[in-house]
Structures are given as structure tokens and as C-alpha cells.
């Protein structure tokens, strides 16, 4: 199978959808030359640097019969359009009683590791999860971003795609034939019997590296990557934890009020999974701090493979620090 980059896979999904639907519009502050060349500058608009304006425009276009794609770039820029997301995009289908559809795909870059400093480094998907009415996806491979985009671009509700800043040039296998990935369907990256690792975004890749090290120590780790956060595939997670008896949730976002907390709570609330736990569940998350610019300080704040290994080893000893 051919290998293409994460960003190429996303672009392919957009191009295919734009060819299928002439009432699709792309809004971003940066030019997208491949898109503009094929679809023209009326459908592929370069906007002013004013997120509240073009996110609001996307909502209006969607309510008028268009399907809109909005590229916010770094997720921190999305806070400029907070009112549009919180009071309008997430609520508008409900406010119309379902009589109008608002098909919107918003793209945001998340994560750390590039010394982009606090105002350009964040993983705020837990904030958006607090806004009923939005669907949230977190693609972690080229295969996933194309398949999830194909689903998102047929969805009649607003979807936000959170894309880690490390992933743009990452290569992976992507079929040339058309395919899509349903929302709410997690992927088991690796089967195991001793501990379940639910890993988000970059932590899924680090978990695979950690699992190889754990195998040499006689520990079998199962790795689950949710792919979509809203809806969340809780059943796959619960079945895995009921089988392994141990859970670690790995997420680069801050720990407090995180998706990691929600995943952990869903296991604790499930009678079967909770009853089979051999040790208290654990989280490996970013510290509750703004992301520093300094590379050594940034590395200290963000979870890594070693922190994950330390937590799993302690869990296997039934001691969680």
C-alpha cells in the first residue's frame, strides 16, 4: 500500500469531498494553493486574521445550505472565536429544534514539543467536550485523518478535528480506494493481557514504543486509541480493562478536568470493569502549567515514554504514586 503524509491524507479527503459537493467552502487565514487551483478562490477563501469573523461566517454559510471547512491553525487562535463556538456553533442545531443543519468541519492544531511557547501550545479538547452539540475527533495517523475526514465531511453537525503539531509530515499507509471511519469506533493498536493503555494523539505512538520495552520485561500491554472523543467508544475500553484488570490513560493535555479523567471515571463507574481492577487506574498527563518555551522545561511538563513506563511498572506492583 502507498505511504503518504498526514497532511497529504487530510488534503486528499478535502479534495474528494469538494469534487463531490459544489456547495462546499474552505475558510482559512493561510492560502491553500492545491485547493484554490482546482476549486477557485470563491470556494477556497483566504480570510482576514479575525477568527471570530470567519468562524461566524462558517456558521452562517452552513445554515444557508453550504458545507464549510474552517482551518483555525493553532488551537490557541480558536479562543478568539470563543463566543462563536460556545454560544452559537455548539447550540445552534438545538436552538433551531433540529429544523436546520449546520455541517461544519473545524481544524485545530494541538500539542507541544516544538518550543512554540504557551500561546501556541495547548490541547484544549476537554474544554470543547463541555459544549454539547459538537463532535470531536483526534486523528493520530494518516489513515485515520483521511477516514475520519470523509465521515466528518458527510456529517450534518459541527465537527472539530484536533491535529497534533508533530503529525504533519508523518507518513503512513493510506488506501487509494475510498474509505471512511465511523465516529465512536476506537482502534486497538496492540493487543495485550496485563494492562490497558488508552492513549490519545502523540501518546499513542509513545505507548507503542513503551509496549516494546515492557514486552522485554514480561509485561503485555494493550493499546487503545479512541480516534474520536465525542462520541467516545467506551465499550472497547471497558471490555479491555475487564480483561486486563489494569488501566493507564495517557494524554498530553493537562490532567485536571481532562479527557483522561473522563475515561478513567467511565471505568470506575462500570460495575464489571471496576470489579475486575487489580490496581487503581492511573493517568499520565501533562502538568497543569502553561507550556514553557525552553526545550528542557517543555520536556519536563509534557508526558513522555519514560513517565509512562514508570507509571505502568508501579501499577504492575499494585502501587500507584
DSSP-derived secondary structure for 166-215: T-TT-EEE--SS-----TT--EEEE--SSEEEEE-THHHHHHHHHHHHHH
Q: Does 3-173 match 187-316 in CATH topology? A: yes
Q: Which three cell numbers stand for residue 301?
A: 511538563
Nearest 5°: phi and psi at 9?
-65, -40
Position 317 scores a pLDDT of 86
Bridging pattern class, strands 24-28 and 104-110: unpaired
The helix/strand/coil state of 103 is coil
How far is 55 from 139, CA to CA, in rounded Å?
Answer: 22
pLDDT in tens, 86-119: 999 999 999 999 899 999 999 999 999 888 999 9
- Residues belonging to the active site: 120
Give me the chain's average pLDDT, please.
Answer: 96
CB-based contact 221:194 (threshold 8 Å): yes
3-class SS of residue 309: helix
pLDDT recorded at residue 319 = 47
Count H helices, E strands: the chain? Answer: 13, 14
Helix (H, G, I), strand (E, B) or coil at 152: helix
pLDDT for 321 equals: 41
The CATH architecture to which 3-173 belongs is 3-Layer(aba) Sandwich (3.40)
> In this prediction, what percent of the chain has a pLDDT beyond 70?
99
| pTM of the model as a whole | 0.95
Rounded alpha-carbon distances, angstroms, from residue 288 to 169, 217, 252, 258, 302: 29, 31, 11, 10, 10
Q: Break the chain into its structural domains and give their ranges.
A: 3-173, 187-316
User: Is residue 26 within 8 Å of 44, Cβ to Cβ?
Assistant: yes
Class of domain 187-316: alpha beta
The list of the chain residues with pLDDT below 50 reads 319-321
Q: Where are the beta strands (DSSP E) in the chain?
A: 3-5, 24-28, 44-46, 67-74, 104-110, 135-137, 159-164, 171-173, 187-190, 195-199, 221-225, 228-230, 247-254, 282-286
Amino acid at each position: 500500500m502507498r505511504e503518504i503524509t498526514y497532511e497529504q491524507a487530510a488534503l486528499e479527503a478535502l479534495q474528494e469531498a469538494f469534487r463531490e459537493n459544489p456547495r462546499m467552502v474552505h475558510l482559512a487565514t493561510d492560502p491553500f494553493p492545491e485547493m484554490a487551483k482546482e476549486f477557485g478562490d470563491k470556494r477556497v477563501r483566504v480570510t482576514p486574521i479575525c477568527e471570530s469573523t470567519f468562524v461566524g461566517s462558517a456558521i452562517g454559510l452552513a445554515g444557508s445550505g453550504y458545507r464549510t471547512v474552517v482551518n483555525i491553525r493553532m488551537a490557541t487562535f480558536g479562543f478568539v472565536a470563543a463566543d462563536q463556538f460556545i454560544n452559537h456553533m455548539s447550540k445552534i442545531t438545538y436552538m433551531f429544534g433540529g429544523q436546520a443543519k449546520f455541517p461544519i468541519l473545524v481544524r485545530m492544531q494541538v500539542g507541544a514539543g516544538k518550543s512554540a511557547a504557551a500561546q501556541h501550545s495547548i490541547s484544549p479538547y476537554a474544554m470543547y467536550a463541555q459544549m454539547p452539540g459538537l463532535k470531536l475527533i483526534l486523528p493520530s495517523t494518516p489513515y485515520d485523518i483521511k477516514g475520519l475526514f470523509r465521515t466528518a465531511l458527510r456529517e450534518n453537525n459541527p465537527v472539530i478535528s484536533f491535529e497534533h503539531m508533530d503529525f504533519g509530515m508523518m507518513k503512513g499507509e493510506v488506501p487509494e480506494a475510498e474509505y471512511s471511519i465511523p465516529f465512536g469506533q476506537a482502534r486497538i493498536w496492540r493487543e495485550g493481557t496485563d494492562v490497558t493503555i488508552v492513549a490519545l494523539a502523540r501518546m499513542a505512538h509513545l505507548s507503542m514504543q513503551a509496549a516494546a520495552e515492557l514486552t522485554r520485561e514480561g509485561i503485555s500491554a494493550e493499546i487503545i486509541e479512541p480516534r474520536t472523543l465525542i462520541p467516545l467508544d467506551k465499550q472497547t475500553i471497558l471490555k479491555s480493562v475487564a480483561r486486563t484488570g489494569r488501566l493507564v490513560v495517557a494524554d498530553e493535555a493537562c490532567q485536571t478536568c481532562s479527557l483522561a479523567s473522563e475515561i478513567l471515571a467511565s471505568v470506575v463507574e462500570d460495575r464489571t470493569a471496576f470489579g475486575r481492577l487489580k490496581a487503581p487506574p492511573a493517568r499520565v498527563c501533562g502538568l497543569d502549567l502553561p507550556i514553557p518555551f525552553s526545550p528542557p522545561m517543555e520536556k519536563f511538563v509534557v508526558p513522555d515514554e519514560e513517565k509512562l513506563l514508570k507509571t505502568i511498572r508501579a501499577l504492575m506492583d499494585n502501587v500507584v504514586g
